[in-house]
Structure 1
Amino acid sequence: MHAEVFAALGDETRLGLIRRLGEGGPASTVRLSTGTGMTRQAVTKHLNMLGRARLVRHRRQGRETLWDIDPEGFDAARAFIDAMSRQWDTRLEALRQFVED
């Protein structure tokens, strides 16, 4: 799961979509594609990848599909990064003690 999250976030276009959703709240594919120079199909493809990584979610509202940030996906990514950070802190502290002794 983590590799899919970081692969999804490793694309500037997808980061832009995340940024737009974070700033503007739920939005349709039409709204998200406006002003980007991309087709709705291209935006949908990027949104689907973000969805598979559990970073965004969608719901139907009438004839539109609205996309929004999925906080649980970001919470899981943050927990992974925090765990990695703690491991590195532990290793660096062990190295510091070794060097100082």
Structure 2
Amino acid sequence: MKRKRKRKLKREMKRNKFLSLLSEMAGPFGRFCRPLLNAVKNNVPKATYAENVKASQDALDNERSLCHDASYEVSNTNLQILLQQTSENNVRMHHPMK
């Protein structure tokens, strides 16, 4: 009886460790993706996983720069203007003297 309980506790601890590791590594998207699950299953160190994420992010950035078109340019400009207006409003709100 005691051995069974001990095994059950051990199994639960492993499961909790696995889940906490998953949630810790879930990243900015807050969901589990296939490479992440594989990395955890294969006990890939976190540093390696981070490098893989960085590499995939770089690949995405390169892809975006290749698909750089006029509509993107316009939307980016609009975003810059919006950000500038927002920051000016924030300055006015927090520093009424200006």
The structure with the largest alpha-carbon Rg is 2
Compute the TM-score of the two structures, normalised by the length of structure 2: 0.34
Greater percentage in strand: 1
- The structure whose RCO (Cα within 8 Å, separation 6+) is larger is 1
